[in-house]
Amino acid sequence: MTDDDTSIAWPVEFCKIIEGQRYSNKKLSGKQRGEIILLAKFKPSINEQETIRGAKEILQLQNDPTGVGMKVDPNLAKVDARVIKSTDVKYAGKIMKPNNGQWNLKDVKFVESGERLEFWHVVIFEQSKWMPKGEVINFIENLARQCESQGMSIARNRPEIQYLQYYNKGPNVVKQAYEDARDILRRPPQLIIFIIPGEKSPINTELYETIKRVMDTEIGCLSQCVSVDSRKNFRSPQYCANLAMKINLKLGGVNSILPEDKLRLPSGEEVLFLGADVTHPKDKNGKSICAVVGSLDNQAGRFITKYQDQERSGKEEILEIDKLIKEILREYCDYQKRRSRVKNNEVITLPPCIIMYRDGVSESQFERVLRWELPKIREACRLFRQGYEPKIIFSVVGKRHHTRIFPVDPKNRMEADKNGNCLVGTIVDKKITHPTLNDFYLQSHFANQGTARPSHYTILHDDIKLTIDEFQGLSNTLCYNFQRSTSSVSIPAPTYYAHLTCARAKMYLTTHRGNIYLPNVHRNLKNYPMYFM
């Protein structure tokens, strides 16, 4: 503002913000996110017309450029597509057949209950006039009944309810909540339910992240956060069932499984499914976080997750993916030994095949990531056990693209759903795909609002030699077992879990004496691999 680099202040009334700047320094509030969602939920037919109109404006072509032998079609490209069938989802004694990628938990019990819930506690970070104790008691009673109806084992005694104030207390108030619960129960609690202020509150995000960081890394106790915004749903069986799914997973249970034959290869061989992701900080001095997730059983019910940080380099490679893979293989063997009750000196058979679903890789970095990570995975397998050389498929799955697919006739229920999107299971693998790479688009989920975005799959390496139809079917199947959902999701479950792990680990980052470090999950949570759900 001045010639000598000193700063001066101007009254805000005399200042004008230049339009078009990107605001990215702070997270948007709940209200701001809601407004963006409203803008983004136009029906597919509207988005289709806006896309055509926008393309004409940008190209500004009044006439076809015939002088250079080109002709521009003002309409969207038409491509052949097909719809693959949904996958049955198995619960205890019952098989659900999804309708348009969706099903419900009515009269359904989880495949496997987690450990019996006896010692739990409720903490409310809100004034009693806004969250009356009687209402919370009724909610906990409804939740407990719903958990029992889904097959979970819960003691008849109900948890104590405690009110605390968070403001300016930081992590200490979370530690206080745990210590109070331990004193009341006369033993460490298994689970603490935190009722926190709604999204409009300025402390919502900070409090949530503090709870997860302290409970996961410092204390080692399971936690479940419930927003005051959900108060209107406290009597809803569906809402309580959604919470029951999360709690059962955290306690070590399995909600649903997939038909075993759907997850085996045509050869009958078993597969270790991996998902991986990398997230980068907004601050150029921050650290990137990478996560690798692996299946522990042959029905994709349980997964183990491993994460670590690495210096931000603008690259997508997971630098020490070999270390994370070895940890997953070790956890796989430990889990199989516990399940099979074999002797410690007995050798567990490892899956002869590995399929990796890698997220977060742009097309420009495909070759770079493959050249780094595939040899590292092979090396990890050899170092873990001599002679272990599994066949590997290395694929990339992503949603950060601008491709949209629209049904030709949105009113035809043979090709469109009730919102005008393509049917769940729609696949496009011709014309708009890469000329040399083996790729396709799959819309595996139902979009409640707005235009569905298909996921883009690219197979970068294949030792198993699956046909494209076989790989597409397997990928679609894995979208039906995201354990905290009663609908198919847009990417395979292991990839989704890797994304969640990165997001959770980001909350753990701590600055100490000017250095940023990422703590490990507390050893108490070792036997609860789905703690992050």
Q: Which domains does the chain have, with CATH numbers?
A: 89-250 (3.40.50.2300), 261-399+457-517 (3.30.420.10)
C-alpha dist (Å) from residue 183 to 115, 132, 178, 191, 510:
22, 24, 9, 14, 29
Q: What is the pLDDT of residue 255?
A: 97
Q: How far is CA 139 from the centre of its chain?
A: 27
Helix (H) or strand (E) holding 239: helix 237-250
Helix (H) or strand (E) holding 53: helix 44-59
Look at the block and give the residue holding tokens 């298909």. 454
Contact present, 433 and 405 (Cβ < 8 Å)? no
Neighbours of 406 (CB within 10 A): 20
* Separation CA 423–CA 446 (nearest Å): 8
Helix (H) or strand (E) holding 289: strand 287-295
Contact present, 101 and 446 (Cβ < 8 Å)? yes
Q: What is the pLDDT of residue 270?
A: 93
- By DSSP bridging, strand 160-163 and strand 120-124 are parallel
3-state secondary structure 101-147: CECCCCCCCCCECCCCECCEEEEECCCCCCCCHHHHHHHHHHHHHHH
* Separation CA 305–CA 327 (nearest Å): 9
Residue ranges of alpha helices (H) inside 306-460 are 321-340, 366-384
506-515: buried (b, 16+ CB within 10 Å) or exposed (e) per residue? bbbbeeeeee
Q: What is the pLDDT of residue 282?
A: 78
Q: What is the pLDDT of residue 47?
A: 83
Which tokens sit at 132?
């009356």
pLDDT tens digits, 373-417: 999 999 999 999 999 999 999 999 999 888 899 999 888 888 889
**Residue segments in the chain with a per-residue pLDDT below the cut of 70:** 1-7, 20, 22-30, 39, 61-66, 168, 313-314, 343-344
Contact present, 390 and 328 (Cβ < 8 Å)? no
Q: Which residues pair with 352 in a beta bridge?
A: none
pLDDT tens digits, 119-177: 999 999 998 888 999 999 999 999 999 999 999 999 988 899 999 988 767 899 999 99
pTM: 0.90
**Amino acid, single-letter form, for residue 69:** G
Closest-CA residue to 308 (of 328, 329, 288): 288
Q: What is the pLDDT of residue 477?
A: 97
Phi, psi of 516 (to 5 degrees): -95, 130
Query: HSE of 95 in the Cβ direction (CA atoms, 13 Å)?
Result: 7
Neighbours of 176 (CB within 10 A): 14
Backbone dihedral region for residue 409 (phi beyond 0: left; psi -120 to 50: alpha; all else: beta)? beta
* Separation CA 56–CA 59 (nearest Å): 5
Q: What is the pLDDT of residue 215?
A: 98
Q: What is the pLDDT of residue 23?
A: 61
DSSP per-residue letters across 151-187? T--B-SSPPEEEE---TTTTHHHHHHHHHHHHHHHTS
Helix (H) or strand (E) holding 149: helix 133-149
Q: What is the pLDDT of residue 9?
A: 75
